[in-house]
Amino acid sequence: MSAQQSCGVAESCTGVGAPRRALDIAVSLIVLAAMLPVLLVIAIAIRLTSRGPIIFHQERVGEGGSTFTLHKFRTMIAGSIGPEFTVPHDSRITRVGRVLRAGHLDELPQFANVLRGEMTLVGPRPETPGLAARYPPELRQVLAYRPGMTGPCQVFMGRPSPPPGVDAEEFYLAELVPRRVALDMQFLQRSTLRATAALLVVTLAVVAGLRKAKPARLADLA
């Protein structure tokens, strides 16, 4: 079944329906309000331990192929250059950045992107234009959808590292992107409110260390 055939009347084929949008707004407001003290502590830690801005801004591909500015807490040395796809032991990551990445706390500013409707809670990875341009034609369909803060890839794949001596970006594009797109499209073709909520719960368990990111069946969440 194609994504177009599975779309309901209340939702666009590449966006989110009214129930999911309501969930996006409610969860984002609650999290930002509840985590405000944590946000302030993180901002102070970044400011005191490394030079550069507190928030990292980067252009990403959004719904329908349009671009938007994604916000994250800065976890890398300001001005450092290297591959767009980072690996866990990337030398550009700061000490505070490693802690933030381990708990996914660097992604908290993305709730602002969700509130603005540029992202959703659950959806495909928000890709950079440079990497998106290197997707093969048969995989570019996923770029038409609204990207998410989390998704089936984060839950079922984790973040594999390339073998020694293998270019990180080539490994990502050749090995990970096809698997990511396959998982994303399975979810997007039946992205019900129930499946969305289930993925959020599993994501929370992974972040809290109560569950490891491991293969499973998306059908179990539907």
3-state secondary structure of 102: helix
- Distance from C-alpha of 139 to C-alpha of 157, rounded to nearest angstrom: 18
Confidence of residue 155 (pLDDT cuts 50, 70, 90): confident
pLDDT tens-digit series, residues 44-67: 999 999 999 999 999 999 999 999
Domain that holds residue 99: 3-221
Q: What is the pLDDT of the chain when averaged over all its residues?
A: 88
pLDDT digits (tens, 9 = 90+) for 119-142: 999 999 999 999 999 999 999 999
169-189 pLDDT tens trace? 999 999 999 999 999 999 998
Q: Residue 86 and residue 109: Cα distance in Å, rounded?
A: 19
Q: pLDDT band for 211, please (50, 70, 90 cuts).
A: confident
Please give the Cα distance from 133 to 104 (Å, whole number): 26
- pTM of the full predicted structure? 0.86
Tell me, what DSSP letter sits at residue 118?
A: S
**pLDDT of 11 above 60:** no
At residue 10, does pLDDT exceed 80? no
Q: Provide the number of structural domains found in the chain.
A: 1
Burial 59-98 (b: 16+ CB within 10 A, else e): ebbbbeeeebebbbbbbbeeeeeebebbeeebeebbebbe
d(CA 151, CA 122): 5
